Structure 1
Amino acid sequence: MTLKPFLLAALASLGLSQAASAHFQLIFTPDTLIERPGDVPLKLIFWHPFENGHVMDMAEPLEFYAVHRGEKIDLMDTLAPMTFTGATNAGAAFNGSVPVKRSGDYVLVVVPAPYYEASEDIFIQQIAKSYLNRNAIPTDWMAPQGLTTEIVPLNKPTNVIAGSTFTGRVLAEGAPVPGIEVEVEYIAAQPDMETDTATAPTTAPSPGGTLVAVTDENGQFTFGIPKAGFWGFAALGSGPETDFEGKDLSQDAVIWIRAWDME
């Protein structure tokens, strides 16, 4: 499944691949490998974390939940509005938490309300996933979550080794999506969990613009992970919905992984 031809043309004419590049929906917590049971704090931010760029205002998400051992845990009541401040501006975002008790994977999912990008006169909806794990026991990370569109990891997303590769499979309504551009992002500026501000970037974006991979006929892409830290992948326009409130909609699938240096 691919974007409808008229939407592809519209996005191209608007220069979406440049203007909207590096818009990334974050589900962020600095700790992804959880040692002790308890509530793990996290933040939902719509931002440009590679260059500590513009912060977009988030409306209240349509859904926010975790999946653990196949069980869905609603997290909407943990959300509290906050203002997140980056290098250039501040925007509406949310603090939240997830109860991590038993061993295994916790797949975090946010379905945000579509965001109106006024400069391009389009809506963007980035359906995002990230992952926590307790006690190194795999339970859920490899399973699709039945989302409208999503990226299913083919490597364990909580402990990718820097210098290796990450492969994901882009799905829309459960079917692979070939020929989709997947933008790659690095969290060079991390959200400070106490102050709701961005730290200084630890590295700069690479020359030549946004890093991009393209899915093959099976909807798969592979990217070499050059550095430890948090890496995000956004499959642009991978979802089946292409309009919202009478305007073009880019419905994107986002996944976040954690890479580590070998000791």
Structure 2
Amino acid sequence: MKLRKFACAALTSAAFLLPAAAEAHFQLIYTPEVNLAEPGDVPLKLIFWHPFENGHVMDMGAPEEFYALFRGKKIDLKDSLKPITFAGLENSAQAFDATLPAKRAGDYTLVVVPQPYYEESEDVYIQQIATAYLNRAQLPTDWAEPKGLATEIVPLDRPTNILAGSTFTGRVLSEGKPVAGAEIEVEYMAAEPSMADNKPSEPKASPMPGGAVIATSDENGYFTFGVPKAGFWGFAALGTGPKTEFEGKELSQDAVIWVRAYDVE
């Protein structure tokens, strides 16, 4: 497929717009407020969904791993998981509630390694290793450090307070090494989940015409995307993990990162 450069200052030379499927699978780790003033237990939701379109929800099995990293220490969160049913516009599916104890100041990196999901329409398994970030008391600590995952997107911009209208740069790694030419789907969380009702709120945007927005990493694994709107933005580097097969079928082991952008008030 021939790349067509996206002629807009919002994207650098490392990012391109490609035709793609209208709906992109995205593993969410969601809480509405990622900048915390006070210590306490933070409610979380894990959902496998199409949040830009408020589309189809996929069933999640119990995650293989779910934890937070804080100042180099691992906080296991699996015991906090509680199965729920999340009702999207098209269907309902199994998801999870969870809780993060955020008592100290600094950056918390949330990591979920889900069970591979079988996508029947493509006869492949998908495993999206996802990260999301919270900060307490505005103290930056270790958000920019690689997390040692099988595959990950390392943020070069602070992921909890990106300015809408500026850019976000990430670096795609597989087993700690940069991935050149990775295909990265870009997703806007147009319909944020309601924490109380386990269903989406009203969408704040409509999907892009022509399908998903796609960026590609450069020879050193870097990509840059111009963030046009406040809210949550997700980036999924497809098939960048070392595992390529599960139960005798093709596996797409993806790296996902969620970042939060704000308007200047």
TM-score normalised per structure 2:
0.92
Residue of structure 1 in register with 2:47 after alignment? 45
Amino acid at match of 2:222: Q
- Greater share of helix residues, 1 or 2? 1
SS in 2 for 1:77: helix
Residue of structure 2 in register with 1:228 after alignment? 230
CA distance in structure 1 between the aligned counterparts of 2:74 and 2:142, rounded to whole angstroms: 11
CA distance in structure 2 between the aligned counterparts of 1:218 and 1:107, rounded to whole angstroms: 24
Residue of structure 2 in register with 1:192 after alignment? 194
CA distance in structure 1 between the aligned counterparts of 2:112 and 2:37, rounded to whole angstroms: 24
1:67–1:140 CA contact under 8 A, matched in 2: no
CA distance in structure 1 between the aligned counterparts of 2:254 and 2:260, rounded to whole angstroms: 20
CA distance in structure 2 between the aligned counterparts of 1:59 and 1:200, rounded to whole angstroms: 27
Residue of structure 1 in register with 2:21 after alignment? 18
What CA RMSD, in Å, does the superposition of the two structures yield over aligned residues? 1.1
Tell me the number of residue pairs that the alignment of Structure 1 and Structure 2 aligns.
247
Structure 1 position 113 matched with structure 2 position 107? no
SS in 1 for 2:211: coil
CA distance in structure 2 between the aligned counterparts of 1:262 and 1:71, rounded to whole angstroms: 33
SS in 1 for 2:215: strand
CA distance in structure 2 between the aligned counterparts of 1:241 and 1:130, rounded to whole angstroms: 22
- The alpha carbon displacement at 1:200 in A equals 1.9
Residue of structure 1 in register with 2:264 after alignment? 262
Q: Which of 179, 182, 186 in structure 2 is aligned with 1:180?
A: 182
Unaligned runs of 5+ in 2: 1-19
CA distance in structure 2 between the aligned counterparts of 1:85 and 1:198, rounded to whole angstroms: 7
Residue of structure 2 in register with 1:248 after alignment? 250
Structure 1 position 135 matched with structure 2 position 137? yes
- The alpha carbon displacement at 1:162 in A equals 0.2
- The alpha carbon displacement at 1:209 in A equals 1.0
Q: Provide, for residues 8-63 of structure 1, a one-character-per-residue CA deviation record: whole Å limited to 9, x for no partner.
A: xxxxxxxxx527x5100000000100111110000000000001000000000000
Amino acid at match of 1:168: G
Q: Which runs of 4+ in 1 moved over 4 A?
A: none
Residue of structure 1 in register with 2:58 after alignment? 56
- The alpha carbon displacement at 1:104 in A equals 0.2
Structure 1 position 29 matched with structure 2 position 35? no
SS in 1 for 2:79: helix
Q: Percent identity?
A: 66
TM-score normalised per structure 1:
0.92
